[in-house]
Amino acid sequence: MNILIVSDSSSNVFTMEGCSYATVPMKINAGDREFIDTPELDLQDMVETLKNHKGKSGSSCPNVQDWLDAFGDAEAIFVLTISKNLSGSYNSACQAAELYQETHPDGKIFVFDTLTAGPQQIMLAEKLKELINEGLDFDTIREKALEYHKHTHILFCLESLTNLARNGRVNPAVAKIAGVLGMRVVGDAKGGFITPVHKPRGHKKAMQTLVSMMEERGLYDGALIRIAHCFGQQQAEDLKAAVLEKFPGCRFIIESTTALCSFYAEAGGLMIGIEGGFNKENYPDE
């Protein structure tokens, strides 16, 4: 069975080798300009435009037809969306899945609300690829992927929360702290919501705080850590070095954010996906 993985572009990854994979673009709007989250986008231009833009800006999710176009005539599909508490992408994907099922009664489709975005989201996609390539059946892949996802986490370290606050993702009062006296905002996701946790002052303290939070979430030596940065390669490398001091066997993937995650992370921001212990914040009833 040929199984297709489809994600919205909050995953930061447009292609995956070794499997059938497609992305559906999110969009960023600033005044009369629209930025579509595709590989062709000039990300530097978008970030600079948003930095200088004084009016309203925001993001929009794929519509139902966008998802259907990505599904095509695949006989089996796993769909991954940004947390439904951050976007309407999940709802659009679910509606598209229902329409797909009507026209493909023998097809199989499952929509994951990943409760996250960025690196943790693409870690789930990579696990799906691994399970697909093992030749497992659709239902077994789904259950094993869900179990894996429950042992992954997302952390972030941001220098600015302006766009998050303007779009109702965080409290504006918290957003004012970022950038003041060299403070960063470090946090995670609880139940699919962005949750600021610490406000360390200075870059070095922020790195130490992130490592401590990883330990609290059960990071183990040899675990995968996936860091997505918005024009913050050095920050990502510094975090890698700080982790390796305590966990020398950890594996790293460092990549750039694409449009949607760049819009919310802003310049210098980091999003970090990790393998660790059970994620009780996203699954409190288990």
Residue 196 is predicted with a pLDDT of 87
Contacts of 281 (CB under 8 A, 6+ apart): 153, 188, 189, 190, 191
Beta bridge partners of 201: 183
Using DSSP bridges, classify how beta strands 108-113 and 152-158 pair: parallel, antiparallel or unpaired: unpaired
Tokens of 254: 């460092």
3-26+61-149 matches 152-275 in fold = no
**CA 23/CA 7 separation, integer angstroms:** 5
Residue 180 is predicted with a pLDDT of 66
Of the candidates 272, 261, 268, which has an alpha carbon nearest to the alpha carbon of residue 211?
272
**CA 65/CA 67 separation, integer angstroms:** 5
> Which amino acid belongs to residue 263?
F
> Does CATH number 3.40.50.2300 belong to domain 152-275?
no
**CA 221/CA 199 separation, integer angstroms:** 27
Enter the DSSP assignment of 277. Answer: S
**CA 269/CA 154 separation, integer angstroms:** 13
Enter the DSSP assignment of 191. Answer: T
> Whole-model pTM?
0.94
User: Per residue of the chain (286 residues), what is the pLDDT tens digit?
Assistant: 789 999 999 999 999 999 999 999 999 999 899 999 999 999 999 999 998 888 888 999 999 999 999 999 999 999 999 999 999 999 999 999 999 999 999 999 999 999 999 999 999 999 999 999 999 999 999 999 999 999 999 999 998 878 787 777 777 776 676 666 668 899 999 999 888 899 998 899 999 999 999 999 999 999 999 999 999 999 999 999 999 999 999 999 999 999 999 999 999 999 999 999 999 989 988 8
Give the domain ranges of the chain: 3-26+61-149, 152-275
Task: Report the CATH superfamily, name and number, of domain 3-26+61-149.
Answer: Dihydroxyacetone kinase; domain 1 (3.40.50.10440)
Residue 178 is predicted with a pLDDT of 65
Residue 177 is predicted with a pLDDT of 67
